[in-house]
Amino acid sequence: MSTPRPAAVIVLAAGEGTRMKSATPKVLHRIGGTTLLGHAVRAARGTGAEHVEVVVRHERDRVVEFCAAFDDGLVIADQDEVKGTGRAVECGLDALPADLSGTVLVTYGDVPLLTGETLVALTAEHEASGSAVSIVTAHLPDPTGYGRVVRDAGGRVERVVEQKDASDDERAITEINSGIYAFEAAVLREALAGVGTDNAQGEKYLTDVVAIARGLGREVRAHVVEDVWQTEGVNDRVQLAALGRELNRRVCERHMREGVTIVDPATTWIDVDVAIGRDTTVLPGTQLLGATSIGSGAVIGPEVTLTDTEVGDGAEVQRAVARLAIVGPGATVGPYSYLRPGTRLGARGKIGGFVETKNADIREGAKVPHLTYAGDVTIGEGANIGAGTIFANYDGVAKHHSTVGRHSFVGSATVVVSPVDIADGAYVAAGTALTADVDPGQIAVARTHQRNVDGWVERRRAGTRTAAAAAEALERGGDDDAHDDAPTSESENR
């Protein structure tokens, strides 16, 4: 037997969200790597509904722009000047086919923990019961701010009353209306036509549909959820942070149950789209963001931030930042490395301490161990880049690319002035400023001769502590015995 699916899901995202105190529309604030509205759309898509619609009004163009980029199959409906959730749903129905029949779900763009599974269960129970309206409800110890579900003497749902319109007895009710509904499409259309604005807010309440449906003799049922977090909406930044923490807790728990070791979930943040293989260990202070993908048996952390980055099986990344980068199987990164977009580190390669890379293709077994900038460069298999090397890729106008061949060696403190090609099996001497290509088997040396100029400190730095120290050393006949064989004049060093 196939799972029932709704004919349409209407996601309400027209509100201003003034309590966020933000220039960004409330539904475009982010947790878990996507916007609140993105989470809501994913839950709606999880029902398999033929039509998924977003109702917009506040900052309409920005919200529509997000919708187009996130899911170009969404139906967009505009709410007019009439306020209220009832009017928002009415505008949503007007944008759907006039002959739409079946179940219509209504959800919100600021309820990020609601799942597609819950909406599917709501649809199945609604259709199996033959109800005209089904309401997602929950019991809260403190229901302040929520509409209350009023039941009759037989325990059936009679109506929903908003807090501002509720009596003292009604405010004492702990069963709250989440605002998430399943409706029979025909009943919803008919009932909305009869909803007015005679209430404390002067708005067209969707909740009034419940009483109207009951007046028509139709069944109204409650779909009670135990997971109260799924009914929680975001009204301010305090709630945004609370829901973000809870979402992250659930994401971490899911990965741990699938075979990932997360040493300290409280300091580990993982976005919802991140993939992690079994037997990987994630150490404290780690952030795995965007579409990051990590293989099995890897060690990530401590203090690592990876954004849209791919890490292979068995790789190790510690105290590093990477964005739009690839780290191959068995490779090592860190500590204190910065992998900028376009970095590709091959299998068993190494990017070491205080190394920055950008558009760098570092191939299998190649090493960039420490204190290096490697930008716009291809480093061949097994090559080694000495400490303090700089690939000077920018001439002030354009970026240029250099190549280091297989099993070649670039000595420490080298400046590679791009574009140059260092062939396979070549050497570059330490301290070289390389401006020309190097052929296979060659060693390139590009240094000036050392000159030791006598008396320079006495003439140019007279009166300083350095000059005093030099004078004392000269009186002793030299600083120490270790320098007895060093050249002492400019002529001796030529």
Give me the active site residues, please: 370
Structure tokens, 88: 């928002």
Question: Are 389 and 410 spatial neighbours (Cβ–Cβ below 8 Å)?
Answer: yes
Classify strands 157-161 and 421-422 as parallel, antiparallel or unpaired. Answer: unpaired
What is the rounded end-to-end Cα distance, in angstroms, of the chain?
93
Long-range contacts of 346-350 (CB under 8 A, 24+ apart): 346/381, 347/312
Distance CA 154, CA 151 (A): 8
Distance CA 346, CA 380 (A): 10
Distance CA 114, CA 71 (A): 18
Beta strand residue intervals within 113-257, DSSP E = 133-139, 147-151, 157-161, 175-184, 220-224
SS (H, E, C) 419-450: CCEECCCCEECCCCEECCCECCCCEECCCCCC
How buried is residue 312: exposed, middle or buried, by Cβ count under 10 Å (0-12/13-18/19+)? buried
246 in helix, strand or coil? Answer: helix
Alpha-carbon distances of 374 from 263, 277, 292, rounded to whole Å:
33, 30, 23
Of residues 112, 127, 109, 115, the one with CA closest to residue 2: 127
**What values do phi and psi take at 104, rounded to 5?**
-115, 120
Length, in residues, of the chain: 494
Distance CA 437, CA 394 (A): 17
Of residues 213, 27, 24, 45, the one with CA closest to residue 126: 213
